[in-house]
Amino acid sequence: MNYLTVDLYKDFECVADACPNTCCAGWQIGIDPIAYQKMVDNQERLGVPAKEWISENDGAYVAKLDENGRCPMLDEKNLCKIVLKLGPEYLCTTCMGYPRTLRIFGNVTEGWLNMSCPEVIARLMKKPQVKFDLTNDDRPASPFPHTALYLFASSVRTCIVDLLQYPADVSLVTKLFACFDILSKAAASFKNKRTDFGLFQEEIGQYFHEETLLTLDNCLMQGISEGSRYQFLLHVQPSLDERSGRFRELVCQVREYFANNHADTFAGQIRKFKEHTAKYRDFYINYWVYHIFMDAMVIPDYDKVLERFIYTAAEFCMIQTIALVSFVNNGILDKEEYIYIISNMSRMMEHSHLFRKELTKRLDNFHAASAAGVLMMIF
């Protein structure tokens, strides 16, 4: 078996009680049957009967969260009582694995870390550039019927990552506009049953010349008006099924902001916000490289790859809008606050079906699943 993972994967360590937004609260925690049985067998050592803190429905087990949405095994210092009293080997697979995610494509297992974990974001903010690790072992692979598509999709993804990390002095929106075009061409190629990457590479070669990117950047920068971006943001933000009190407050502040500020004020403030956040330029590239690594392998339904890209653009857009309002209200965008916003928005996107449904509706109404939508969403 071959293993392709983002380079933070192997060294990641949970910061436990130092975490500013613990993953042991605010969402459902599923417990596998083996871990459940271990909790029954060791309930005396743990000091609490399994039935008291785990509910069972049709063979599926979940932790009964307390009135603050916290896992009952989380103590007042935000440490896990299972780890403290029994040891980490007693954790269920959800808690043992998080924030790691693995996907198997035949003889390749890919691994990444979810950005709903604030420590992942903090590490991405410190990294000049995301890299990847390729290793292997003797484990046999299971049969996989989509090897040709996997090879095509992973080559397209490598091109996109190269483009994002290409050292040309162009804006993020220009690079993402080009990425969207490459993915559109890849999806069309797949639809026409052409998955020969050699031929495809000729179609997209133009993007790997600094001059082309600079010209495109110039055109796009002249074409984007903050007035139309204001209208776009005003209508496309879905109402959030806010899970925590403080995140709810931040979202309410966005509504207030759009109710009280006109497009002209917005244009001035967004300019200052961009100057203030210029220091996150490398992080933005890392953020997108991470997402492309996770989202560009829609196998076997590769025709949905653009939909995934648009979701990521919408997620980024909502993060930036909340961050902009926080910046306007406080005169600064605190790094811890930024991490908090990003991790909560990732949690919404990962876990709220209703939120995704409403977002899809709004994006459709605004014809945002397009290159023009990408231009409006990235700032």
**Residues 319/341, Cβ–Cβ less than 8 Å:** yes
Judged by CB under 6 A, the number of residues near ligand SF4 is 11
Q: Pick the binder of ligand SF4 from 23, 54, 74, 159 (CB under 6 A).
A: 23
119 binds ligand SF4 (CB under 6 A): yes
Closest CA to 377 of 323, 317, 321, 306: 317
> From CA 266, how far away is CA 226, in angstroms rounded?
8
> From CA 293, how far away is CA 112, in angstroms rounded?
8
Q: Pick the binder of ligand SF4 from 5, 6, 22, 177 (CB under 6 A).
A: 22
Q: Which residue in the block uniquely carries the two structure tokens 């990457």?
A: 197
Using the minimum distance from each CB to ligand SF4, give the nearer residue, 254 or 341: 341
Using the minimum distance from each CB to ligand SF4, give the nearer residue, 99 or 238: 99
121 binds ligand SF4 (CB under 6 A): no
Using the minimum distance from each CB to ligand SF4, give the nearer residue, 97 or 223: 97
Using the minimum distance from each CB to ligand SF4, give the nearer residue, 118 or 238: 118
Kindly indicate which of the ranges 13-21, 31-39, 225-233, 293-301 contains the residues binding ligand SF4, using the contact rule CB under 6 A: 13-21
> From CA 78, how far away is CA 73, in angstroms rounded?
9
Q: How far is the CB of 15 from ligand SF4 (least distance, A)?
A: 5
> From CA 199, how far away is CA 221, in angstroms rounded?
31
> From CA 281, how far away is CA 171, in angstroms rounded?
9
Amino acid at 373: G
Using the minimum distance from each CB to ligand SF4, give the nearer residue, 119 or 295: 119
DSSP assignment of 152-196, as one string? Answer: HHHHHHHHHHHHHH------HHHHHHHHHHHHHHHHHHHHTT---
Give the chain's length: 379
CA distances from 34 to 66, 90, 94, 197, 292 (A): 23, 10, 12, 44, 34
Region for residue 47 given its phi and psi (left: phi exceeds 0; alpha: psi -120 to 50; beta: otherwise) = left
Q: How far is the CB of 118 from ligand SF4 (least distance, A)?
A: 6
> From CA 310, how far away is CA 349, in angstroms rounded?
12
Kindly indicate which of the ranges 19-27, 183-191, 353-361, 366-374 contains the residues binding ligand SF4, using the contact rule CB under 6 A: 19-27
345 binds ligand SF4 (CB under 6 A): no
> From CA 63, how far away is CA 350, in angstroms rounded?
19
Q: How far is the CB of 20 from ligand SF4 (least distance, A)?
A: 8
Strands 132-136 and 2-6: antiparallel
Amino acid at 265: T
Q: How far is the CB of 74 from ligand SF4 (least distance, A)?
A: 9
Using the minimum distance from each CB to ligand SF4, give the nearer residue, 96 or 141: 96
Kindly indicate which of the ranges 11-19, 127-135, 193-201, 234-242 contains the residues binding ligand SF4, using the contact rule CB under 6 A: 11-19
Q: Pick the binder of ligand SF4 from 1, 14, 62, 214 (CB under 6 A).
A: 14
Using the minimum distance from each CB to ligand SF4, give the nearer residue, 229 or 291: 291
Considering only residues 58 through 117, tell me which ones interact with ligand SF4, judged by CB under 6 A: 98-99, 117
Q: How far is the CB of 27 from ligand SF4 (least distance, A)?
A: 11
Kindly indicate which of the ranges 16-24, 40-48, 200-208, 298-306 contains the residues binding ligand SF4, using the contact rule CB under 6 A: 16-24
DSSP state of 207: G
| Six-digit token string for 110 | 């890919």
| Contacts of residue 69, Cβ cutoff 8 Å, sequence gap at least 6 | 25, 26, 27, 243, 244
Q: How far is the CB of 102 from ligand SF4 (least distance, A)?
A: 16
Q: How far is the CB of 98 from ligand SF4 (least distance, A)?
A: 6
Using the minimum distance from each CB to ligand SF4, give the nearer residue, 16 or 214: 16
Using the minimum distance from each CB to ligand SF4, give the nearer residue, 14 or 62: 14
DSSP assignment of 182-237, as one string? Answer: HHHHHHHHHHTT---HHHHHHHHGGGGSHHHHHHHHHHHHHH--HHHHHHHHHHHP
Using the minimum distance from each CB to ligand SF4, give the nearer residue, 19 or 214: 19
Where does this chain bind ligand SF4 (CB under 6 A)?
14-16, 19, 22-23, 98-99, 117-119
